[in-house]
Structure 1
Amino acid sequence: MKPPARPSRASLLHWLFETSLAIKGLLCSAEFLAGFGLLVTPNAPIARLIYWLTHFQIAETPTDTLAAWTQRAMEGFPVATQDFYGWYLALHGGLKLAMVVMLWARILWAYPAAMAVLAGFVIYQIFEFQHSGSPFLLLLAFFDLLMIGLIWQEYKALKVKRAAKAATT
């Protein structure tokens, strides 16, 4: 009995590209929806929701630092700050969502544009990491760098396919 064939490097890279694109699409959709939600929801219901979500935990464990921090953060969450985060998340998520859709549609100029956009995000994330020290920003930067590499591989493969197709027609 013959063992199953191992996938080629190109097919593995394509699978990684498609998988990471799906993950990126889900995350940026959630980001866009969160931003939109912040823009259309008045500040008071958000404050009540945060209080409702955390007060049971604080009543049960008065030393719960995450719940206490969340409540304190909400107290300092004025409408102007809510609007800023709403617009930021909606525009940031919307831009990335448009990028994902164009890559899935295999629009050729979107590949270098997406790499440039992601490179800008990486620079911003590293800059913010230097100020905040949040390892989450480094994780995002690493994921975006991985995406840049996968987009580059996919872009090269797509150009070769299109060149071969153009040569046969």
Structure 2
Amino acid sequence: MKPPAHPSRAHVLHWLFETSLAIKGLLCSSEFLCGLALLLTPNAPAARLLYWLTHFQIAESPTDTLATWTQRAMEGFPVATQDFYGWYLLLHGGLKLAMVVMLWARILWAYPAAMAVLAGFVIYQIFEFQHSGSPFLLLLAFFDLLMIALIWQEYKALQAKRTAKTAAP
């Protein structure tokens, strides 16, 4: 049998879902690992590492905004703040990583739960955007809205497959 010349809409949407899950999995894994690193690294070595990473750029270009801002932020980065960000990244990344794993495992109840979790993130990102004005938050919100749509589409397809399997003799 000859394969179709063009993939079906369902095939493309499934590919987008799988690709989005892979991207989300990479991002939340790195978020989880960064949180873990912040919790396990004492404050002074973290500050020295950040200084080492940025001081060459500042020496080369004293007006480099990002490097200067990073060094100033690290100067005011007490242990309590480091712990907060460590726990936040660990829990936020861990929750999303668990969600990705359950979706890859095709656990049916995880689909509505993932949509609810992502909707909560979208609300939070839009709320924070109103305060900070960061376009990055809008980009994250857009990606999460796209994920919600893809999860919904995948959920409907999975339900239809399972219904067809149970209805077949």
TM-score calculated relative to the size of structure 2: 0.97
- The 3 A distance-change label for structure 1 pair 107 and 87 is same
Distance between the aligned counterparts of 1:100 and 1:141, measured in 2? 17
Q: Which residue of 2 is the match for residue 42 of structure 1?
A: 42
Structure 1 position 150 matched with structure 2 position 150: yes
User: What is the correspondence of 1:86-125 to structure 2 with a 5 Å cutoff?
Assistant: 86-125=86-125
Number of positions where the alignment pairs a residue of Structure 1 with one of Structure 2: 168
> How many angstroms does 1:3 deviate by?
9.9
Match of 1:70 in 2: 70
Task: Tell me whether 1:8 sits opposite 2:8 in the alignment.
Answer: yes
Q: What's the counterpart of residue 128 of structure 1?
A: 128
Structure 1 counterpart of 2:142, one-letter code = F
**Quick one: which amino acid aligns to residue 29 of structure 1?**
S
Shift of 1:4: 5.9
Measure how far apart 1:60 and its partner are: 1.3
CA-CA distance at 1:144 after TM superposition: 0.2
TM-score norm. by structure 1 comes to: 0.97
Q: Quick one: which amino acid aligns to residue 47 of structure 1?
A: A
Question: Could you tell me which amino acid in structure 1 is paired with residue 39 of structure 2?
Answer: L
SS in structure 1 of the partner of residue 136 of structure 2: helix
Question: What is the CA distance between 1:70 and its match in structure 2?
Answer: 0.7
SS at match of 1:117: helix
Q: Distance in 2 between matches of 1:119 and 1:43?
A: 34
* Whole-Å separation in 2 of the counterparts to 1:32 and 1:3: 41
Which residue identity is paired with 1:84?
F
Letter in 1 for 2:138: L
**Shift of the alpha carbon at 1:62?**
1.2
Aligned residue identity for 1:109: W
The CA RMSD measured in Å over matched residues stands at 1.2
Report what 2:60 is aligned to: 60
TM-aligned CA distance change 1:68 to 1:163, over 3 Å: same
CA distance in 1, matches of 2:85, 2:45: 16
Cα distance in structure 2, aligned partners of 1:103 and 1:3: 28
Opposite residue 14 of structure 1, the aligned amino acid is H
Q: Is residue 141 from structure 1 mapped to residue 129 from structure 2 by the alignment? A: no
Between the aligned partners of 2:8 and 2:121, the Cα distance in structure 1 is 31
Partner SS, residue 7 of structure 2: coil
Q: Cα distance, 1:110 vs. partner? A: 0.2
- Separation in structure 1 between the aligned mates of residue 64 and residue 97 of structure 2, nearest angstrom: 36
